[in-house]
Structure 1
């Protein structure tokens, strides 16, 4: 690391909530624009937020459809309770807040008001995993673990702007509640280069490879693809399987790649406890697939505050760290 790089990392604001690389193609507020476009076609769609419209890109919807937007204030339980009531009368609500508040503060309202009656309420959780440097109060590193055990709840962890834009209408059309781990602001555009289409409940093989299989979700699919290109320089051929729907999980597609003599690595922007790694491992055990699976994930601890590039490097989510880990496993 050069001294200039070190200085830049130290002075970068902890507010950063973008994981885009310098010069990378991005799309601004893909969720907000997708929801506004969907509302043009479907009069049932409404948007709610808990004082976080600007920070969950819901403000785009609010500007386009002001009479179908509801600002609930800093009251996440009220946010989900109101969304449940709207769904009861036939509306299709999208309710946005930070992922930590949906998972930690309003869990019981989501469980009993929305999931138990299987209502079509779509929860949009901003700042999932390590997408902010604010520290444990805002880092939703365990949200999937909290929500995986909730019956009826669909969980989606999108990679990029393509995933988000295509997921929104499918979430609205699906029965029952959904939880979307929102990537906001200037979101990278990655998957359009891989002949990919988001399908709710389905995983997709983005590239083949004879030596290693990456199974990834969320922003870590972007990192998996980057690491695969880097590993090719070391003559390591890497397949990448993107699993944006964590629940219900597409075990058939994933296990078809896992059940081989290749090194299998899961990559997720979530604690190693209760997320993609354990989902894949559980599916393998249930299917009788005897396979060692190596996780790239956040540690089971409260994380530090700071700038995202520094934190991603420290906790192993950076592309360089992924490449190092794979080469170490193959050595």
Structure 2
């Protein structure tokens, strides 16, 4: 008698997509943007710590094999090498997973790159909750780690538009940068809102009188979706997109906080040390008393699983944002 065939159990992929079914996406926007920039600027070079395929650096590598350096699984060495390349006038983009660039290689980023103010661009994939593979790969605290590093500019893009426009500006920036990379098939959202990325600036992409979402990264996509849904309940929600976490555009944030709207900060990061605390501190230091509720990941190691399930469980889904607004109003 033939034994019954067991159904193979599957789990969420390492590189899972957070795009909604049928949503417009762009393939590997970072890799293609870096490749276009490299055609104009011969000083652009790329490095990876054995993860070129999974950080979209393979697009640059395949087109520019003589300007790409595969460093193997040695993130500290990669950042040290990137610092050396910058010292001789090249402009490196060094890619790996966010957990390895921050937890594992922080001392090299801080002292080899940030302290001398070198033009090294660190590209971290799988920021926050963008993989279902658990705490070893979920960089839920990278902003908290890096916001304390002097001289470092930090960018958390919403979509492919942000990434494509940010890459040349990061290369032009005199000092070091850290980009929270969305890779693979990345949603295209902000082209519908007359938006342009400007390093160091926040942008009001949607006005509204009842609620103000202050969001960054992929959560701006979610807050825009939530704002559209809330219209059916006669709730008018504004969305302030904050793609540059450091330096923070405090002037724009304060301008939008000086109303009587409910304020909800939204970030793909732990509630500790990220956008939520930065906005709350900005308000407190300016003497503004306003209601601010954080939609952020909890201060804990997160579970493994499928991304839609995890985003709903931890409050990052569009449904969760809508429910939070309705409960608060």
Find the counterpart in structure 1 of residue 4 from structure 2: none
Structure 2: state its 5+ residue gaps: 1-8
Question: Is residue 17–residue 127 contact of structure 1 (8 Å, CA) maintained in 2?
Answer: no
Matches within 5 A, 1:23-38: 23-38=22-37
Provide the rounded CA distance (Å) in 2 between the counterparts of 1:131 and 1:258.
Answer: 29
User: RMSD across aligned C-alpha pairs, in angstroms?
Assistant: 0.9
Matches within 5 A, 1:161-240: 161-240=160-239
Find the counterpart in structure 1 of residue 43 from structure 2: 44
Deviation at 1:286, TM superposition (A): 1.5
Most deviating of 12-21 and 98-107:
12-21
| In the alignment, structure 1 residue 305 sits paired with structure 2 residue 304 | yes
Provide the rounded CA distance (Å) in 1 between the counterparts of 2:36 and 2:188.
Answer: 19
Question: Is residue 258–residue 264 contact of structure 1 (8 Å, CA) maintained in 2?
Answer: yes
TM normalised by structure 1 equals 0.96
Provide the rounded CA distance (Å) in 1 between the counterparts of 2:25 and 2:244.
Answer: 22
Question: Is residue 16–residue 307 contact of structure 1 (8 Å, CA) maintained in 2?
Answer: no
Find the counterpart in structure 1 of residue 5 from structure 2: none
Provide the rounded CA distance (Å) in 1 between the counterparts of 2:16 and 2:102.
Answer: 19
Provide the rounded CA distance (Å) in 2 between the counterparts of 1:142 and 1:318.
Answer: 19
Find the counterpart in structure 1 of residue 96 from structure 2: 97
Find the counterpart in structure 1 of residue 267 from structure 2: 268
Most deviating of 255-264 and 137-146:
255-264
CA deviations 1:247-298 (Å, max 9, x no partner) are 0000111111111100000000000000000110111112111112100000
Question: Is residue 16–residue 308 contact of structure 1 (8 Å, CA) maintained in 2?
Answer: no
Find the counterpart in structure 2 of residue 316 from structure 1: 315
Matches within 5 A, 1:252-267: 252-267=251-266
TM normalised by structure 2 equals 0.96
Provide the rounded CA distance (Å) in 2 between the counterparts of 1:116 and 1:17.
Answer: 35
Find the counterpart in structure 2 of residue 3 from structure 1: none
Aligned to 1:233, the other structure's residue is in SS state: helix
Find the counterpart in structure 2 of residue 292 from structure 1: 291
CA deviations 1:59-110 (Å, max 9, x no partner) are 0000111100000000000000000000000000000000000000100000
Question: Is residue 14–residue 305 contact of structure 1 (8 Å, CA) maintained in 2?
Answer: no
Deviation at 1:43, TM superposition (A): 0.6
Aligned to 2:139, the other structure's residue is in SS state: coil
Aligned to 2:308, the other structure's residue is in SS state: helix
Structure 1: state its 5+ residue gaps: 1-9
CA deviations 1:145-166 (Å, max 9, x no partner) are 0000000000000000000000
Provide the rounded CA distance (Å) in 1 between the counterparts of 2:218 and 2:145.
Answer: 20
